[in-house]
Amino acid sequence: MTQAIDKTTVRNFCIIAHIDHGKSTLADRLIELTGAMRKEELREQVMDSMELERERGITIKAKAIRLDYKANDGKTYRLNLIDTPGHVDFSYEVSRTLAACEGAVLVIDASQGIQAQTLANVYLAMEHNLEIIPVLNKIDLPSAEIERVLDEIESVLGYGTENMLLISAKTGQGVPHLLERIVQRIPPPGGNADSPLRALIFDSHYDSYKGVIAYLRVTDGRISKGDNLRLMGQGTEMEVLEVGYFAPEPCPVQTLSAGDVGYIATGLKNVAECRVGDTVTSESNGAAEPLLGYRPAKPMVFAGIYPTEADDYQELRAAIDKLSLNDASLSYEPESSPLLGYGFRCGFLGLLHMDIVRERLEREFALALLVTAPGVSFTVTKTSGQTVTVVNPTDLPQPHEIERIEEPWVSISVITPSKFIGPLMELVMGCGGMHKRTEYLGHSKTPGELGQRVQLEFDMPLRSMLTTFYDQLKSRSQGYASLDYEFVGYREAKLVKLDVLVNGVLADAFSRIVPPEKAHDIGEAIISKLKEEIPRQLFQVPLQAAVGSRIVARANIPAKRKDVLAKCYGGDVTRKRKLLEKQKEGKRKLKQIGKVDVPKEAFTSVLKLNW
């Protein structure tokens, strides 16, 4: 429908921000002001549509919206606003999205100032040579500290006050200026429509009618309906069933050409065949070099997911299969546990990703799940010279078979008021972290009582982040500290397997890989939780935590002595029988470890136990 327009009037950009700094609200305002949707059509936060999709059953994800904007120079510009995932777990996706843009609007909250993901995002944008337009958002809030934050931005990022736009995405104040600046500052796309096709996939989702929908940025060449295409990284071949863009509803077109952003419907059955970061080219006479080095996003965090009711295993399998159609970074392998039965060992990009998957399985598929404590992927070199990857603690070889264990490390960046440096240092050190750098952000003439803001950098085992780390970071800094992290590689680790024995029987699901010096404390925590949760049995039940044959913590659950309906006369029989029926039914739902009846809650709370 739209003929190829002058590339010089195209602007491809994204909005980058620390979480909750107003990215989605700004997107809404841009959509509204350019008239793509009227205010009354505009549901809150169009770009943040996951929840809405679910509730309304629509399958369109507004991952990239085309906006027509009539600028002050009288020309109409085509603005392609590309959404970026808002969490550190998805930094790979973020970097692919940035690669599809020429510019980025950097949103900074006028109360909170620069936060860890602000910096991480700026560095990523700079790596991709994006034109960055910094804006100070939420200036309408009473808590806004415009002066202080401007000062901080100038000294940390080097954007002078004269370059900063002050806006309120909520009220729309300053947003028209932002639109003008986008047009003026962000360069039009380069590339050549007559070169062989190269288009970057920056997102994809599965649609049950059209197969995988790939969102892409065409850098060179053209894509038309009916073209046969190939993914240069994965080698997947496909026919283009439909070409189009979102405005924000899908608008099919004949052709997308160099500089354009849009979607193609591929008919593919699984997003894993069409992953983010890959380059699309023509099946014949394709391009020689991909746009970016392609690597699939690699799961970093692993946990076992089991149905609470063994009968639900097939349903869980179907649910995970279905979910993974839309989530290429979710990995899963069937596994079984003597205790938990049949389930899956799943790999996630991070904890948030894990929570999302769990929640979707529970909410969308109505499954009751047991999820084991999250862990990382260890590389174990055995004395035999063989190297194995261990993602389930029960698979850790015997101590005498282990030559060396390596575990993933992350580099973390924390931004905090200086008052909290002490407690945060203590936290990171306690997690086995190593301090790398401390940098004061800005030179405020009037630091508040919390002191100057500081960026701290550490290296830390990823394993330590999978527990209460983030909660503690927040609580030790009264909520002020923000965090960003990235994977830096594998390092040697000194770790042991901590086992839990209930009545002398190994409870495999509770095993954890821990540093030896923490085995006692973690063991104590698990044992005392179990003691709290396992009801008294007809016999005394010893609970033990052990490293190899060494017991590091123990407790006994004393035998139950009294459980009887003492009063039972003519008027009580039916009511008392119902109580017994309930008791019997309850027994049926218990899992058994050895001869010990263990309620589901005991599993959940021990598996949730954060250490």
Chain residues binding other proteins by CB under 8 A are: 538, 558, 560-571, 573-574, 577, 579-581, 583-584, 587
Q: Are 281 and 245 in contact (CB under 8 A)?
A: no
- At position 440, the amino acid (one-letter code) is Y
**Which one, of 360, 502, 514, lies nearest residue 432 by Cα?**
514
Nearer to other proteins, 400 or 584 (CB): 584
Closer CB to other proteins, residue 235 or residue 570? 570
Closest separation in Å from C-beta 535 to other proteins:
11
Complex with other proteins: residue 288 or 566, whichever CB lies closer: 566
* Least Cβ distance, residue 391 to other proteins (angstroms): 40
Length of the chain: 611
Q: Which residue lies nearer to other proteins by CB, 400 or 561?
A: 561
- Shorter beta-carbon distance to other proteins: residue 359 or 581: 581
Beta carbons within 10 angstroms of residue 550's beta carbon: 9
- Work out how close the CB of 550 gets to other proteins at its nearest, in angstroms, rounded to a whole number: 32
Which residue, among 156, 157, 200, 404, has the nearest Cα to 291 in the 3D structure?
200
CA neighbor of 407 nearest in space, from 442, 432, 370, 371? 432
Triad 238, 239, 245: Cα angle to 5°: 105
Minimum distance from residue 571 beta carbon to other proteins (Å): 4
Q: How far is the CB of 578 from other proteins (least distance, A)?
A: 10
Q: How far is the CB of 296 from other proteins (least distance, A)?
A: 52
Q: How far is the CB of 581 from other proteins (least distance, A)?
A: 6
Q: Quote the least distance from Cβ 605 to other proteins, whole Å.
A: 21
Name the residue nearer to other proteins (CB basis): 70 or 560: 560
Task: Tell me which amino acid residue 479 is.
Answer: G
Using alpha carbons, select from 570, 569, 545, 568 the residue that is nearest to residue 555: 545
Structure tokens at 497: 């397997």
What is the number of other CB atoms lying within 10 angstroms of the CB of residue 56?
A: 10
Which residues, other chains included, contact 429 with Cβ-Cβ below 8 Å and sequence gap of 6+? 435
Cβ 533 to other proteins shortest distance, Å:
17
Q: Specify the residue, 435 or 577, whose C-beta has the smaller distance to other proteins.
A: 577
Which pair of structure tokens corresponds to residue 607?
């598996």
- Rounded Cα distance between 438 and 596, Å, is 52
Closer of 326 and 503 to other proteins (Cβ) = 503
Nearest distance in Å: CB 584, other proteins = 4
> What strands lie across the sheet with 165-166, from one edge to the other?
64-70, 76-82, 10-17, 103-109, 131-137, 165-166
Q: What's the closest the beta carbon of residue 583 comes to other proteins, in angstroms?
A: 5
Token digits of residue 18? 């620390």
Q: Give 158 or 570: the residue with its C-beta nearer to other proteins.
A: 570
CA distance 319 to 310: 15
**Does residue 413 contact residue 119 with C-beta atoms inside 8 Å?**
yes
> Could you give the CA distance from residue 375 to residue 350 in angstroms, rounded to a whole number?
10
* CA nearest to 15, candidates 142, 213, 167: 167
Least Cβ distance, residue 557 to other proteins (angstroms): 13
Q: Nearer Cβ to other proteins, position 209 or 569? A: 569
Cβ atoms of 198 and 219 within 8 Å: the answer is yes
Q: Please state, in angstroms and rounded to a whole number, the distance separating the CA atoms of residues 598 and 591.
A: 5
DSSP state of 489: E
How many of the other CB atoms lie within 10 Å of CB of 44? 9
Instruction: Report the distance separating Cα 171 and Cα 169, nearest Å.
Output: 6
Nearer to other proteins, 355 or 533 (CB): 533
With a CB cutoff of 8 Å and minimum separation 6, the contacts of 36 are 65, 66, 67, 68, 247, 248
- Shortest Cβ distance from residue 575 to other proteins (Å)? 9
Q: Which residues contact 30 (CB under 8 A, 6 or more apart)?
A: 67, 79, 81, 175, 178, 179
For other proteins, the closer of residues 58 and 579 by Cβ is: 579
| Residue number with CB closer to other proteins (475 or 583) | 583
